[in-house]
A and B are shown apart, each in its own frame.
Chain A
Amino acid sequence: MNLFACLYAPGNLPLLVECAREFSPHMEEVPSDALIFDLTGLNKMFGTPADIAALIAARVGVPASIGIAPNPDCALHCARGFAGVTIVLRGRECAALAPLPVNLLQAPAEIAETFDQWGIRTFGELAALPPLGVAARLGQEGTRLWQLARGEWERLLNSARDPLRFSEELELEYPVELLEPLSFLLSRMLHDLCARLHQASLAASEIRLRLTLETGFVHARTLRFPAPMIDPLALLKILQLDLQGQPPTAPVVKVTLEAEPARPRTQQHGLFQPQSPEPEKMELTIARIGAFVGAGNIGTPRIQDTHRPDAFEMVRFGSVVGETVSQSGPVRAALRRFRPPRVAQVQLSGGRPVNVRSLSISGVVQDCSGPWRTSGDWWTSEAWERDEWDVALSSGMLVRMHFDRGTERWFLEGCYD
């Protein structure tokens, strides 16, 4: 049997919340003076509703009206309308609420005016009206008020929940200097954190690590994942690899680990869809490879919106969503870039290159085309202007080179391959 209690004490809502926590985690705050909470099932522990009411009255600590009723709104109206303790049993709601003034219903202004014109002053007078007549004249809202006046309006509690926060903190008795003992601590904290995330059916989309150093500085690292992760071992390995690349500069005295909760990835692959790497496994693989090639050298290229040659940036793999398009058109000769472009000495004859020499590539020019002049960014301090040539060398290479008009030097940019 459902049973709800309402505490009414204007201005003392925090105390009411504290009292209600001792009886139930399911509670609803009614701004700004009342609190409704669920007592269903407490009779097995505390006895009759009267016994429960006595316990609540003993623990509330401030003068408060207490209403206990089979539904939340009936309990609320009892607490607001009557002083002291009011207990309403199932089937007696209408009679118990009858003497209460109708303005407790907090009806919309238009309906309240109608009640006034009709001479309705109490819950009992409203409850005595025929339901079909109320529905015909006042609509859905009128019916709801009529049911409230009879104490028959059933609903679920709109429970207020604390925001979920997943963090672990550990103050160390002795400073930790090496990464290995620190890894043991991180492992324990990550296991606890992941267990709590798992309990809440969540995963971590971001891990924030704050290491308070002996010198007073804080070494903060933030790891974001393209897909939420829950495996503590994988997270530990990623943290270890990150700390190996960016180690703290002094012994650690305090460790704080925080996880950003997110819904875990749920994806069902189609039978005929191409395979794709598992995000969790991929994140670990990328971290491992990034540890020896450099984190900036692994990722997905994104071409920048400029005409400047070789303008791109590296972004995290999996963070960009691209549309797949069907390939069409003729086969294109590809360019292999020299990064950075190689400085060359070029001999000209009649304005055309005849001989090219650089540290690694040299040869007599057998065929060439150009110059193709391009320029850009002239409105910034990074202006560029160049004359581009395609050259076939006697060594067999097809080279793209350019004359930089800013520095007046020749560069080999790449070879067609």
Chain B
Amino acid sequence: MSAAAAIRTQVQAALPRFDLPLVITPRPAPELLAIGIPALDTLTQGGIPRGSMTEIAGEASSGRTTILHSLIARATSQGEYCTLIDTHDAFDPATAAECGAVLSHLLWIRCGANTENALKAADRIVQAGGFGLVIFDLSDTDMLSARRISLASWFRLRHAVEKTSSALAVFSRQFNARSCSRLQIELRRTGTTWSTHLRSVAFEAETRKYQFSRRAAFEAQRFDPLA
């Protein structure tokens, strides 16, 4: 007997006079948006879920922006429109284009390190709908400011995105949205390869909030403009 069915039996036994419409409908499996990095797509069983919030967290140089660029590249190359709410104005269009991003399909909102404005912009964009991917980049926001974003704001974002087929990805230093996110990915850097120049960087990703924690490693090469 499943846990939901057991609870139902217990409640009905305790309250026999009431015919409880206690039917727990299983949520359908979400549609997924591929990340574009094979190791991570395998790890997440296909990508990040649409109509949900995904948190991707890690320290500086842990591979967050590599995933961000890959997500944009993957979505825009399929003809989808993306929004990047860039709290600290750190997005580099040139390297994103090198990763395969179609910049004409990207709406970039530069918030000048104002977290409140970024949050308002994210809310407006999610409410407007029509984007395949919405990225809320809090990667450079200090932990205290990110923690100050109220749980009610995260719930509002989650509730708004549930009605759409957009995938909402939040990048930050630590997980902030708590129960509002459907998937959490934690990143860390595991190594760096140097030859005459910085050749590649190795990262490790760990998923949270799935039935069990899983890990995967991936590597990103440095783009050499002179090559």
Q: Which residues of A contact B (CB under 8 A)?
A: 273-278, 281-282, 285-286, 288-289, 292-294, 297-303, 307, 309-310, 312, 314, 317, 320-339, 367, 369-370, 372, 390, 392, 396-398, 414-417
Contacts and interface: CB of A to CB of B under 8 A. Distances in A.
A327 B219 CA distance: 17
A329 B108 CA distance: 25
Given A298-B110, A417-B61, A277 B194 contact: no
B111 A273 contact: no
Given A285-B125, A323-B102, A293 B112 contact: yes
Contact of B130 (A282, A293, A302, A416): A282
Given A390-B222, A396-B60, A416-B201, A332 B109 contact: no
B36 interface: yes
26 contacts: A275-B81, A275-B132, A277-B129, A278-B130, A289-B109, A299-B107, A303-B103, A307-B225, A309-B94, A317-B107, A320-B103, A324-B78, A325-B102, A326-B77, A327-B77, A331-B220, A334-B68, A336-B90, A336-B92, A336-B139, A396-B59, A396-B60, A398-B189, A414-B90, A416-B222, A417-B66
B220 A333 contact: yes
A390 B121 CA distance: 34
A322 B192 contact: no
A301 to B, nearest CB: 4
Interface string B75-106: 01111110000000111111111111011111
B226 interface: yes
A312, A335, A398 pick with most chain B CB within 10 angstroms: A335
Contact of A369 (B91, B107, B194, B221): B194
Nearest to B66: A334
Contacts of A322: 102-105
Contacts of A337: 89-92
Nearest to B60: A397
B107 to A, nearest CB: 5
B81 A332 contact: no
A326 B78 CA distance: 7
Interface of B is mostly: mixed
Contact of B139 (A285, A397, A417): A417
A328 B100 CA distance: 7
A308 B223 CA distance: 16
A298 B104 contact: no
Given A276-B81, A310-B92, A333 B60 contact: no
Contacts of B165: 275
Interface of A is mostly: mixed
A332 B73 CA distance: 11
A332 B95 contact: yes
A318 B79 CA distance: 13
A333 B202 CA distance: 9
A286 B83 CA distance: 11
Contacts of A278: 130
A63 to B, nearest CB: 65
A361 to B, nearest CB: 9
A282 B128 contact: yes
B25 to A, nearest CB: 26
A297 B111 contact: yes
Contacts of A307: 225
A270 B221 CA distance: 38
B104 A320 contact: yes
B90 A332 contact: no
A208 B117 CA distance: 29
Contacts of A323: 102
B103 to A, nearest CB: 5
Nearest to B109: A298
Interface size class of B (residues with CB under 8 A): 35 or more
Contact of A301 (B68, B108, B125, B223): B108
B100 to A, nearest CB: 4
Given A325-B102, A396-B60, A396-B61, A275 B130 contact: yes
Nearest to B34: A327
B221 A332 contact: yes
A334 B80 contact: no
A137 B102 CA distance: 64
A396 to B, nearest CB: 6
Contact of A324 (B69, B76, B109): B76
B68, B73, B218 pick with most chain A CB within 10 angstroms: B73
Contacts of A336: 60, 65, 90-92, 139-140
Nearest to A311: B94
Nearest to A366: B192
Given A277-B131, A322-B103, A332 B69 contact: yes
Contacts of A329: 100
Given A285-B128, A417-B61, 11 more contacts: A276-B130, A285-B124, A289-B120, A293-B117, A300-B107, A301-B106, A332-B222, A334-B220, A397-B60, A398-B192, A417-B60
B43 to A, nearest CB: 14
Given A334-B99, A416-B61, A392 B192 contact: yes
A181 to B, nearest CB: 27
B64 interface: yes
B108 A303 contact: no
B49 to A, nearest CB: 16
B221 A330 contact: yes
A302 B124 CA distance: 24
B225 to A, nearest CB: 8
Nearest to A319: B104
B218 A331 contact: yes
A339 B89 contact: yes
A293 B80 contact: no
B165 to A, nearest CB: 6
Contact of B81 (A277, A314, A396): A277
Nearest to A327: B100
A415 B121 contact: no
Given A282-B128, A333-B201, A417-B66, A293 B109 contact: yes
